Amino acid sequence: MYIWTGIDVDDQLAGIREKVRQLERELGVTNSNLTLPFHISLKMSFEMDEARAAEVVDTLETFYRKLQPFEIPVSGVEYHTTIAWIRMKENETLNRIHNGLNDLLAERFGVGLHEYDRDFLFHTTLCMDEEADLVRRFYEALKDEPLPAVLKAEPFLIGASPSGALGTYRVVRKV
């Protein structure tokens, strides 16, 4: 079982979401139609023994219930080879939450750091595809779309997948 966690920003990005869906159809992007709402991941997904998954989800919920909503400044649309995203500006609160999650999960469940957890880039994925030219074209069509200057960090999401493969994650708890 794989566990994932993030901040739901789907409603706040409704304007660009419609443009993303239109571009998916027009360009034939294969892997961008993810099963989760637009979100800002807070830690890389991690594998957990299925027998402990419910305990991990409960622990994450307790962690999130202690947090207050806060604002996340938006940087803009970016891309790199096979992924396009909305990048968030450097944010001390996001860094503190990310580090707190890493510490909590390591201490309580033995979850190690993923290589991307070491220099985490807070973002909302817009498009993923193995064909780099499609992602570049996707980016070109979206780079000047208006975005909110800030997003509100609320609510928090916890998701799970039996395999960890793209398209298999489902939200299991909204906090």
> What are the extents of the domains in the chain?
2-174
Find out whether 32 and 20 touch, Cβ atoms under 8 Å: yes
Query: What was the pLDDT predicted at 53?
Result: 97
pLDDT per residue over 55-83, tens digit each? 999 999 999 999 999 999 999 999 999 99
Q: Buried (b) or exposed (e) across 98-118, using 16+ Cβ within 10 A?
A: beebbebbeeebebeeeeebe
Q: For the chain, which residues score pLDDT lower than 50? A: none
Measured CA to CA in angstroms, residue 32 lies from 24, 26, 133, 157 at distances of 7, 13, 14, 19
Query: What was the pLDDT predicted at 54?
Result: 97
Residue corresponding to tokens 């395999």? 163
Question: In CATH, which superfamily holds the domain spanning 2-174?
Answer: Cyclic phosphodiesterase (3.90.1140.10)
Query: What was the pLDDT predicted at 32?
Result: 53
Query: What was the pLDDT predicted at 130?
Result: 87
